[in-house]
Chains A and B, each alone.
Chain A
Amino acid sequence: MNKQKKTIDVDYIAGLAKLEIDESKKSRFQEEMQNIVDYVDLLSELNVENIIPTAHAAQMKNVWREDVSENDFSREVMLKNAPELFDEGTIKVPQVLPGEGTA
């Protein structure tokens, strides 16, 4: 890992995470995050060459279900927590452009 200090671009990160950060708190967040990142940088002391990364705490494989369908939840139940509905059937959101954002 390189030794140069990494500066965190809080605006960029907050934009990715969709978090509005108060102007007044920005420098504090910047500083706190910087401290945490400086702290976790201590991992660079360890030699991790040729070590296989661990993504799961229990090693298993091929856990799946058979292709059987069931539908236990009514639309009424699925929509009752929604903050805003359109036409009682879809979840209302500000206008988005067709095709925008699709994977």
Chain B
Amino acid sequence: MKYDVVIGLEVHVQIKTESKMFCSCPNRYGEEPNTLTCPVCMGYPGAMPVPNRKAIEKAVIAGLMCGCSISEYSKFDRKSYFYPDMAKNYQISQYDLPFCLEGNIKVEGKGFSGKKIQIKNIGITRIHLEEDAAKSNHYAACSGVDYNKAGIPLLEIVSEPDIASADEAYAYLTNLKEIMQYGNISSCDMEKGQMRCDVNISLKPKGRKEFGTKIELKNMNSFRAVHRAVEYEIDRQAEALDEGVTLRQETRGWNDERGETYLMRSKESAHDYRYFPEPDLMPVVFTKNDIDNFKADIPELPKAKRERFISQFNVTEYDAKVLTAEKAVADYFEKGAEHTKSPKLLANWMITDLLKEISDSGLNINEIRVTPENLAEMIEMINKKTISGKIGKTVLSEMFKTGNKPSVIVKEKGLIQDTDESSIEKYVDKAIEDNPSQAEQYRSGKKNVLQYFVGQVMKQSRGKANPQIAIKLLKEKLG
């Protein structure tokens, strides 16, 4: 293509808190309309905002995780515009002195197309804290406003125009989401509106310095929609530029069903927001010491965690990726790893067995009855050959069902591995005696019949015979 694509994203993320940003109404999703409201979030006369300390702290943590510098002096401002979903007809937001400035996120992984993208630093211009708007429900002849969502703490994360393709936009969003979830800032469930994204996109002839005409895209409800909308716009704008059409600065919406963007408003109707400092709220001032304390609270980022897992626990890159995809899983693994000498084996068991049990059960990892300590204990039993790997599978399902310790299960069910040569020898002798023709095949050179005999030994011993010893004895006896 003969154009450079310049994309900047504005991402809104609802912060996970108990209560709303400026009042004590619960921050919850999915309740009956207008049941989570009070004079403050419905903009009643005389009501006043009181900021939620936790939301401010999470905004700062989010900023630190995105490499931002934290302002020592921040304040809230009023942003004025009339709309039914804005109870006061102004939004409490942050204008010139937001909490977080100038950060960046290292973006890697795959785009929506599945293409691996080159590692790239995407700059973060700023992150500020504001209150969410209400929700308008649309009916045939009118709309109905539900203020349950009004006043939920909301982060606005503005990127630099560093993004150059739909795939990069997708990867940026994936990485950002991972950070927000890792930092326990937000659940980022897009279906619940906890993460939303606006796109600023312009094209310019390759190599030219000046930016082209900026188009803002709204109403995309998934990362996939963002990807599609960006692709669509790149084509639309490139076509227009090819034909010599001058683009006008405008806001366009995304129609997911039709797969196209449409004009929402042009620049002429741009807002004049009349920002001014919110007189009802005092400034927020952090000392260097406060900011250092916040830094100590930052959870390890997924990428750093992956690297650490590989070097500290000797797991593969694949293992590390699976184990860190969710913070709770990573925490579980680390906890378990404290109690075993074979973290790699633990990783294998978690990835192939535990996570499967979890996904079959529909639970999440925090809800299961198998504690990391108990799982590690089982790994140790396998390691010490107290039980075989095969028995391990039985033990794990039993642990999953009952929550009992593996040692208890093994004892109760008599599952301890048999390593006594003389007792295994009995099974070996019996197996050879019962299967003379197979023994003949082995002796005549079909060495893979050995597996058959191992199976027979295991069957007779009900899985308890140590397979290595059984193999050794079989080889000796079969000659």
Residues of A within 8 A of B (CB): 16, 18, 55-56, 60-75, 78-79, 85-87, 89-103
Contact indicator B38/A78 (Cβ below 8 Å) = yes
Among B129-137, B233-241, B347-355, the stretch in contact with A: B129-137
* Interface SS majority for chain B: loop
Q: Which of A56, A66, A70, A74 contacts B279 (CB 8 A)?
A: A56
Q: Would A16 and B144 count as touching, CB distance under 8 A?
A: no
B304 CB within 8 Å of chain A: no
Interface string of B18-52 (1 = CB under 8 A from A): 11100011110000111111110010000000111
A100 to B37, CA, bound (A): 23
Distance in angstroms between the alpha carbons of A96 and B137 in the assembled complex: 9
The listed residue (B136, B144, B285) touching A89 by CB distance below 8 A is B144
Contact of A69 among B27, B142, B272, B283 (CB under 8 A): B27
- Can you pick out 24 interface pairs between chain A and chain B where the beta carbons lie within 8 Å of each other? A16-B274, A55-B75, A55-B277, A64-B50, A65-B53, A67-B17, A68-B19, A69-B19, A70-B24, A71-B35, A71-B36, A78-B147, A86-B137, A86-B139, A90-B146, A93-B142, A95-B138, A95-B142, A98-B138, A99-B219, A100-B264, A101-B86, A102-B85, A102-B218
* B-side contacts of A85, CB under 8 Å: 144
**B137, B141, B284: the one within 8 Å of A62 (CB):** B284
B452 within 8 A of A: no
User: Which of B38, B141, B284 makes the CB contact (< 8 A) with A73?
Assistant: B38
Given A60-B282, A90-B144; 9 other pairs, CB 8 A cutoff: A65-B51, A67-B18, A67-B52, A67-B53, A71-B26, A90-B33, A95-B141, A96-B136, A102-B133
Whether B83 is near chain A, meaning CB under 8 Å from some CB there, is: yes
User: With A86-B139, A92-B142, A93-B84 in contact, is A99–B264 under 8 Å at CB?
Assistant: yes
Which of B37, B86, B142, B143 has a CB less than 8 Å from the CB of A103?
B86
Which interface class (under 10, 10 to 19, 20 to 34, 35 or more) fits B? 35 or more
Q: How far is the CA of A67 from the CA of B24 in the complex (A)?
A: 8
Answer whether residue B253 sits at the interface, using C-beta atoms and an 8 A cutoff.
yes
* Contact for B144 among A62, A91, A101, CB less than 8 A: A91
Contacts of B25 in A (CB 8 A): 69, 71
Which residues of B are in contact with A by a Cβ distance under 8 Å? 12, 17-20, 24-27, 32-39, 42, 50-56, 75, 79-86, 91, 93, 130, 133, 136-139, 141-147, 218-219, 253, 264, 272, 274, 277, 279, 281-285
Are A103 and B91 in contact (CB-based, < 8 A)?
yes
Q: Is the CB of A89 within 8 A of B85?
A: no
Measured CB to CB, the closest approach of chain B to A89, in angstroms, equals: 4
- Would you call A73 and B219 a contact (CB within 8 A)? no
Name the A residues within 8 Å of B85 (CB-CB).
101-102
Return A75 CB to nearest CB of chain B, in Å: 5
A64 contacts B52, C-beta separation under 8 Å: yes
From residue A33, how far is it (CB to closest CB) to chain B in Å? 16
Residue among A74, A92, A103 making CB contact with B133, cutoff 8 Å: A103
